[in-house]
Amino acid sequence: MRGLPERIQLKTPDQITLMREAGLVVARALAAMRDAAAPGVSTADLDGVARGVLSEAGATPSFLGYHGYPAVICASVNDRVVHGIPSTGEKLREGDLVSIDFGAIVEGWHGDAAISVAIGEVAPDVAALSAACEKSMWDGLAVARSGARLTDISHAVETSIRGSGTYGIVAGYGGHGIGSEMHMAPHILNYGRPGKGPRLTPGMALAIEPMVTLGSRATEELDDGWTVVTTDGSWAAHWEHTVAILEDGPWVLTAEDGGRAELAARGIELSAAAA
């Protein structure tokens, strides 16, 4: 929708704290699914692992029922890019790359993150694809700070991916604002010129989520109305974190360590709120 830009929700420190709780549930669930993912395990089994973490934490799934979505995770294997629906018939095999996306709600506040997981030994180009995608996410997170402009993130993600090799940067899809809903303004493309869009200010929270392929950037949606696949059949990776922008620095709410290690490697200190 064009016209007046949508307002970006600003969170209070207490609301960010609740988003951190949701983010830690997401981190825990993704770690449990990463550990469970192995040959013979179905994507529905992974969904079950996430449900277990949710009920233990007393948290609510973000995805279940979202526009009718039927599961608590998205599991997107190989040429599936995002929004793959878990299924008991879809068993992981040695050499697969599965992207697992998961969101949780605590007291009305959302966390959203995704990882790509190699099943056993994957082809070297597939391992490099996932590493390039993850790196570009961190390079994007590193510029998501107060005072930057929105497309500085897009540009940093694109520059990072292009610096890693010849990859397709999925067109049209991207990150988003997050808070009292999973998907909020603004939309964040994973490519573009820097210096445009709204200025980032304290209290914003953003989900940054590059989607990268070994082939072209074109995708299509399957007849299930959800699954996004590459048009050329090339394999794809997807990584995502939710970050809060605070006056004194970022806080990666869905990372166990708040993003401390990866951001320190890029010369950035976390907000004192993350201590």
Residues within the interface to ligand MF3 (CB under 6 A): 63, 66, 69, 74, 83, 101, 103, 112, 176, 207, 209, 240
Q: Which is nearer to ligand MF3, 69 or 162 (CB)?
A: 69
Which residue's Cβ lies closest to Co ion?
Answer: 207
Nearer to ligand MF3, 63 or 167 (CB): 63
In the complex, the smallest distance separating the C-beta of residue 115 from Co ion, rounded to whole angstroms, is: 12
Task: Give the chain as a DSSP string.
Answer: --SSPPPPP---HHHHHHHHHHHHHHHHHHHHHHHH--TT-BHHHHHHHHHHHHHHHT-EESSTTGGG--SSEEEEETTEEE-PPP-TT-B--TT-EEEEEEEEEETTEEEEEEEEEE-SS--HHHHHHHHHHHHHHHHHHTT-STT-BHHHHHHHHHHHHHHH-S-EE-SS-EEEE-SSSSSEEEEEESS--SS-SPBP-TT-EEEE--EEESS-S-EEE-TTSS-EEETT---EEE-BEEEEEETTEEEETTSTTTTHHHHHTTT-PPPGGG-
User: Would you tell me which residues interact with Co ion (CB under 5 A)?
Assistant: 112, 207
Choice between 152 and 240, CB closer to ligand MF3 = 240
CB of 209 to ligand MF3, least distance (A): 5
Closer to ligand MF3 at the Cβ: 16 or 207? 207
Residue 142 binding partner per list Co ion, ligand MF3, none, with a CB distance cut-off of 5 to 8 Å that depends on partner kind: none
Minimum distance from residue 240 beta carbon to ligand MF3 (Å): 5
* Least distance in angstroms from the C-beta of 269 to ligand MF3: 27
Q: Residue 11 Cβ, how far from ligand MF3 at the closest point, in Å?
A: 18
